[in-house]
Amino acid sequence: MKIFYRPEQVASNTAAYSPSAYKPKQVMDDWQAQGLLDVIDIESFEPVSRADFKRVHNPQMVDDVLDLKRRNGFRNVDAEVAASLPYTSGSLLAAARWALAHRANTCSPTSGFHHAGYDEPEGYCTFNGLMVTAVKLLDEGRAQRIAILDCDVHYGNGTDDIIARLGLQDRIIHHSMGQHFETREQAGAEGIHFEAWLAKALTECAAADLVLYQAGADPHMDDPLGGVLTEGEMFGRDVAVFRAFRRKALVWNLAGGYQRDTDGSIEPVLRLHRNTLVAWMSVSTHQS
């Protein structure tokens, strides 16, 4: 099992409400401390280029953000955040290349992609690494269809915006949990059950050569921006996804999560990401 991580994908940016800039390091430290990395290889990778970002975003916006002339998705001009961006997308792209080459599952410990639209950073997301990765692999002919299965609790509006701008509706299958389940009330009003939604999405994603799975922590009941699923339901979600695509190219990442302990630590979020890793390990090592 492999995880595509290097320290350059992390920015301290601790003043932000969203921990996503510094979360990869905390997640990796947590998994290390729990002994979960003993059977995992940490793989290095190359950052993506400005041209890769410009393929899916307004080129002027890309230059302005990276040159610190315009605010990023955290609404600041932090140089460390800008420096980390080619590495967060680079982690996802390298993981996806490996997954395609080996028809296997892997992990990119990254967040902060799906609200970034063609022209604008938004909601703690500066550049849309999901779309950087998907479009690069389609351009290279490594995949004909790619699925983005987004189980962050918020709607992946930036992803849909870029798909529409680039006319990729036929080549990118996009299922965003947040379109239906952003709140418990919305889910109730629409009369949809999460398990039924997920089962349908899994069936439709099976038509793709590669699945990018956002295993968001923010659907959790106690998340201040979520409040939809229990910890057990989230574990069941992860197991269902990993079982469905066990012999297929799949990359999972972290996506959102905003709970804090009373001491300000993100332990409740780390716990949910740890559960996803455990679900992945249990499905991967179970031979049937």
Q: Site residues (CB under 5 A) for Zn ion?
A: 152, 154, 218, 256
Nearer to Zn ion, 154 or 175 (CB): 154
Instruction: Give me the least distance between CB of 98 and Zn ion, in Å please.
Output: 26
Query: Minimum distance between the CB of residue 153 and Zn ion, rounded to whole angstroms?
Result: 5
Return the number of the residue (152 or 161) whose C-beta is nearest Zn ion.
152
- Cα 278 to the center of its chain, rounded Å: 17
CB of 218 to Zn ion, least distance (A): 4
* Complex with Zn ion: residue 86 or 112, whichever CB lies closer: 112
Cβ-proximal residue to Zn ion, closest one: 256
Q: Which of 78, 69, 63 is nearest to 112 (CA)?
A: 78
The CA-atom distances, in angstroms, between 277 and each of 82, 106, 126, 270 are: 28, 10, 26, 11
Largest CA distance in the chain: 53
CA angle at 110 for the pair 94 and 275, rounded to the nearest 5°: 110
The helix/strand/coil state of 236 is helix
End-to-end, the C-alpha distance of the chain in Å comes to 17
Nearer to Zn ion, 152 or 238 (CB): 152
The least distance separating Zn ion from the CB of residue 110, rounded to whole angstroms, comes to 14
* Shorter beta-carbon distance to Zn ion: residue 120 or 152: 152
Judged by beta carbon, residue 188 or residue 224, the one nearer Zn ion is 224
What gap in Å lies between CA 137 and CA 47, rounded to an integer? 15
CB of 252 to Zn ion, least distance (A): 15
* Residues contacting 150, CB < 8 A, separation 6+: 114, 130, 156, 159, 174, 175, 176, 177, 178, 214, 216, 255
| 161 φψ region: left (φ > 0), alpha (ψ -120 to 50), beta (else) | alpha
Least Cβ distance, residue 73 to Zn ion (angstroms) = 12
